[in-house]
Amino acid sequence: MAATVTVEVARYRPERDAEPVFQQYEVPVRHEWVVLDALTHVKDEIDGSVAFRWSCRMGVCGSCGMMVNGQPTLTCASYLTDHLPGPIRIEPLRHFPVIRDLVVDLASFLRKLRRVKPWIVRDDGPVEPEGEYRQTPEELERYHQFSQCINCLLCYSACPIVGLEPDFTGPAAIALAQRYNLDSRDRGARERLEALSGDHGIWDCTFVGECTEVCPKNVDPAGAIQQYKLASALDTLRSFVLPWGK
Partner 1 sequence: MAGTLDAPRYHGRWHRPRTSVFWWLESWRYTRFVLRELTSVCVAWTALVLMAYVGAAGLGAEALATFLSWMGAPWLVAWHVVVLAGLVYHSVSWFSLAPSAMVVRVGGRRVPASLIVGGNVAAWVVVSAALLWLAGRA
Q: Which is nearer to partner 1, 55 or 206 (CB)?
A: 206
Side-chain-side CA neighbours of residue 179 (13 Å): 22
Q: State the DSSP H helix or E strand holding residue 83, giving kind and residue range, or none if neither.
A: none
In 32-146, DSSP assigns E strands to 65-68, 71-74, 88-91, 98-100, 103-104
- Write the single-letter amino acid at 109: F
Q: Which is nearer to partner 1, 110 or 127 (CB)?
A: 110
At a CB cut-off of 8 Å and minimum separation 6, what does 92 contact? 10, 12, 20, 66, 67, 98, 101, 102, 103, 104
- Asked whether position 223 contacts partner 1 by CB under 8 A, the answer is yes
- To partner 1, the closest distance from the beta carbon of 67 in angstroms equals 11
Listed ranges 43-51, 75-83, 101-109, 116-124: which one lies at the site for partner 1 (CB under 8 A): 101-109
Q: Which is nearer to partner 1, 97 or 126 (CB)?
A: 97
- Asked whether position 220 contacts partner 1 by CB under 8 A, the answer is yes
**Which of 84, 230, 234, 237 is the binder for partner 1 (CB under 8 A)?**
230
123 phi, psi to nearest 5 deg: -125, 10
In 15-105, DSSP assigns E strands to 21-28, 65-68, 71-74, 88-91, 98-100, 103-104
Within residues 120-179, the interface with partner 1 by CB under 8 A covers 138, 160, 163-164
Give contact residues for partner 1 (rule: CB under 8 A). 12, 14-15, 19-20, 70, 94-95, 97-99, 105, 107-108, 110-111, 114, 138, 160, 163-164, 206-210, 212-213, 220, 222-223, 226-227, 229-230
